[in-house]
Amino acid sequence: MEYTGTVAKCIYSVPGFTVFRFRTSQGEFTALGKLDDIREGEKLYLRGSFENHPKFGRQLKIESWEKIIPTDRDEAVELLSSGIVKGVGPATARKIVDALGPGAVEKILENPDVLNSIKGLGKKAPKIARSIMETYSAQRAVKELVSFGMTVNAAQKIYRAFGRQAPELVKLNPYCLTEVDGMGFLKADEIAQKIGVKRDSRFRVEAGVLFILNEALWKEGHTYLPVEKLLEKTLALLNKEYDCVTREQVLEALNHSDIKAHTRGISLAWAYRCEKDIAENIGRLRGKLSAIDPEPVIACFEKAHDITLTPGQREAVKMAVNSGLSILTGGPGVGKTATVRAVVHVFEKLFPGKEIRLAAPTGRAARRMAEVTGKQACTVHRLLGIDRSGKPAFNRNNPLDCGLLIIDETSMMDCFLARNVLNAVKKGTRVLFVGDPDQLPSVGPGSVLKDILSSSVPKVTLTEVFRQAAESQIITNAHRINRGLPLLIDRSRTDLFFIEKDEPEEIARSVVTWAAGLSRKGEDVQVLSPKKDGFLGTWELNRLIQEAVNPAGREIKYGNQTFRVGDRVIQTRNNYEKYVFNGDIGVIKRIGSKVEVQFNGDVVPYSYDELWELELAYCISVHRSQGSEFGTVIVPVSTSHYFMLARNLLYTAVSRAKKRLVLVGSKKALAMAIKNDSPVKRYTMLGEFLNAGGTYW
């Protein structure tokens, strides 16, 4: 449906989205859509369809729009004197139209200097021209960008990024589009070919190299690539259709301000600097701070809690108290938690009055840390006071004021979060990193925990499984998996089940049956899958489980996902404005003008355009489960996951279960996963920096 009319009233407006009342000859109605810079009194052409909103009633959802440029005298005078154009009243408007004709506005847009020839305007002429240009610049820029082959939504996003000069910038170097969120190299390359950019253009080669380095960083966790691997990948990308870019051209493109060449290979300059900062901070913080013997206080702790620490735990407590930075590692059931409690107790007694801060990368891990220590704990983001822009309030110039800082689940910390943490620690503070290096590496770039463990930083690894923990089949088999041994399952017990199924369809049905049955009983159940796609991936299992446990009710569709009230959802990116972070799990409480999701007691609203940040979370990836524990964990294990079957992935999944573990799949797939101890190596520089022969100590 098409409508021509006037903006009567703006109801709500944010960059890229506007709700307004629209007046036509047939009547007035509410319209909404992805519009920019719309003002009351402007004439628009709209195309869209009406929808009935449960709260706001009948609304026109705009599919396309255009500001109307007047073509007759009365319309031109009306627009110029409407108040949209600053400094122009009815008399001045008539004077301009009399001088330039009914197409006055179009003439001014084509050549603003035409106003200089009109007597009586004087110094007003440039201001009038600027106001008219501002009114129509977005529309003209978006229209021209769309002609390059991009969608209206993408064109509006680019206009917001670059302003009215956007079309010229794109024509000069279409690869500037890679700076715009959601506009990657492949789309920029497509547009570049449409507007005639040469395939061996320097801009294209440089953008290709940066694309490969960014893909390696964010998708594979590599902070650098060896030169030959970078050359191979870049040439494959740029010469996919035509053999036009040479090895020499790629090597020449490495002389770029955003790229750092070093002894190992090629990094993005800021990623290289990040790992170097971590190493320098560790050098600044490490070393012995005192020679205190905490043994008497440890004895008091043991008596108060009626426990006896193992030699390894005692050593860890002494290390944490006497070292600037140290690491405590070990698998499940080896007493890391009791050791952390002992460290906190001993530090409080030895250094009364000094503050202790506890944190973890995820909200779930922080809550668990608080429960087991009896002390307040928070997420690392909250610890650092990270604001809406992503900048931490605590840094080198404003360090944290505490005597002891303990970070749990440090295997989850990528190099950027680790740098922010260490930047915020002042010399003299004791820092204890706690983690399990046998788990999967962080979702983000780097291999921080393993790289630090490869250095001479003080460390203790706990290996003795406590008797009570050893009674758990989950913990026992987690350690067996880690040693490459087959599972031992006592079928008379109820904490571990292996449901043997061979075909993916059978595995999926069994997973859904278990998940739905336990969910209906109100149990804390989580399905974990190695990957997103495929019949046993998170996308399909989420759809099947949702239909089983929450098949009806108020819903909203976004892309290929349907969200319903009561659905379990996961945040897929850090949103500093909402203060929810990648991996946070919540429940949809209400769907109205906004979708309201409850995370840890806080209800967070999402507009329709923000729903891309959410995914259903009945089934999540093993990677996203790190730092969390669930009452029951269900894991499909299939040969269809061949490329994902690895020991550390299975170990991570198994160790997420607190009370019950259900493995569904084939014995062959399970054996393949346990046998495969060759996780994909990440290329990182941190280990080399830390072992640089005293350069940073």
pLDDT, one tens digit per residue, over 265-286 is: 999 999 999 999 999 999 999 8
Our count of domains for the chain comes to: 4
User: Per the domain annotation, does 661 fall within a domain?
Assistant: yes
Confidence of residue 460 (pLDDT cuts 50, 70, 90): very high
Same domain, 60 and 83: no
Same domain, 48 and 83: no
User: Per the domain annotation, does 649 fall within a domain?
Assistant: yes
What is the distance between the alpha carbons of residues 188 and 648, in angstroms, rounded to a whole number? 37
Q: Is the pLDDT of residue 36 over 80?
A: no
Same domain, 445 and 495: no
Residue 463 assigned as binding residue: no
User: Per the domain annotation, does 164 fall within a domain?
Assistant: no
β-strand partners of 58: 52
419-457 pLDDT tens trace: 999 999 999 999 999 999 999 889 899 999 999 999 999
Q: Among residues of the chain, what percentage have pLDDT more than 70?
A: 98
Confidence of residue 484 (pLDDT cuts 50, 70, 90): very high
For residue 642, the enclosing domain spans 470-675
Q: Residues 360-377: what's their mean pLDDT?
A: 88
Residue 288 assigned as binding residue: no
Q: What is the pLDDT of residue 273?
A: 97
Same domain, 460 and 479: no
Same domain, 308 and 445: yes
Closest Cα to residue 429, out of 529, 553, 284? 284
What is the distance between the alpha carbons of residues 383 and 329, in angstroms, rounded to a whole number? 22
Helix (H, G, I), strand (E, B) or coil at 80: helix
User: Per the domain annotation, does 619 fall within a domain?
Assistant: yes
523-563 pLDDT tens trace: 999 999 988 888 899 999 999 999 999 999 899 988 889 99
User: Per the domain annotation, does 176 fall within a domain?
Assistant: no
Supply the mean pLDDT for the chain.
Answer: 89
Residue 88 assigned as binding residue: no
What is the distance between the alpha carbons of residues 130 and 87, in angstroms, rounded to a whole number? 11
Q: Residues 556-585: what's their mean pLDDT?
A: 89
User: Per the domain annotation, does 6 fall within a domain?
Assistant: yes
Instruction: Provide the residue type at 477 as one letter.
Output: N
Q: What is the pLDDT of residue 697?
A: 41
User: Per the domain annotation, does 58 fall within a domain?
Assistant: yes
Same domain, 475 and 460: no
Same domain, 447 and 386: yes
Boundary of a domain, candidates 464, 490, 514? 464
Q: What is the pLDDT of residue 619?
A: 97
Q: Is the pLDDT of residue 695 over 50?
A: no
Query: 347 or 114: which carries more pLDDT confidence?
Result: 347
Cα three-residue angle 465-472-655, rounded to 5 degrees: 80
Q: What is the CATH number of the domain that holds 10?
A: 2.40.50.140
Instruction: Provide the residue type at 222 as one letter.
Output: H
What is the distance between the alpha carbons of residues 330 and 465, in angstroms, rounded to a whole number? 10
638-660 pLDDT tens trace: 988 766 788 999 999 999 999 99
Boundary of a domain, candidates 464, 495, 516? 464
Same domain, 526 and 629: yes
- Tell me whether residue 288 is exposed, middle or buried, using C-beta atoms within 10 angstroms of its C-beta: 0 to 12, 13 to 18, 19 or more: exposed
Same domain, 547 and 426: no
Q: Is the pLDDT of residue 662 over 70?
A: yes
Same domain, 509 and 438: no
Q: Is the pLDDT of residue 68 over 80?
A: no
CA-based R_g, the chain, Å: 30
β-pairing, 266-268 with 325-330? Answer: unpaired
Residue 695 assigned as binding residue: no
Q: What is the CATH number of the domain that holds 502?
A: 3.40.50.300
Closest Cα to residue 148, out of 174, 185, 128? 174
Same domain, 564 and 432: no
Q: What is the pLDDT of residue 110?
A: 81
Q: Among residues of the chain, what percentage have pLDDT more than 90?
A: 58
User: Per the domain annotation, does 178 fall within a domain?
Assistant: no
Q: Residues 676-689: what's their mean pLDDT?
A: 89
Query: 558 or 620: which carries more pLDDT confidence?
Result: 620
- Tell me whether residue 480 is exposed, middle or buried, using C-beta atoms within 10 angstroms of its C-beta: 0 to 12, 13 to 18, 19 or more: middle
Place of tokens 């190493």: 279
Q: Is the pLDDT of residue 349 over 90?
A: yes
β-pairing, 325-330 with 430-435? Answer: parallel
Residue 333 assigned as binding residue: yes
Same domain, 457 and 475: no
Boundary of a domain, candidates 65, 83, 103? 65
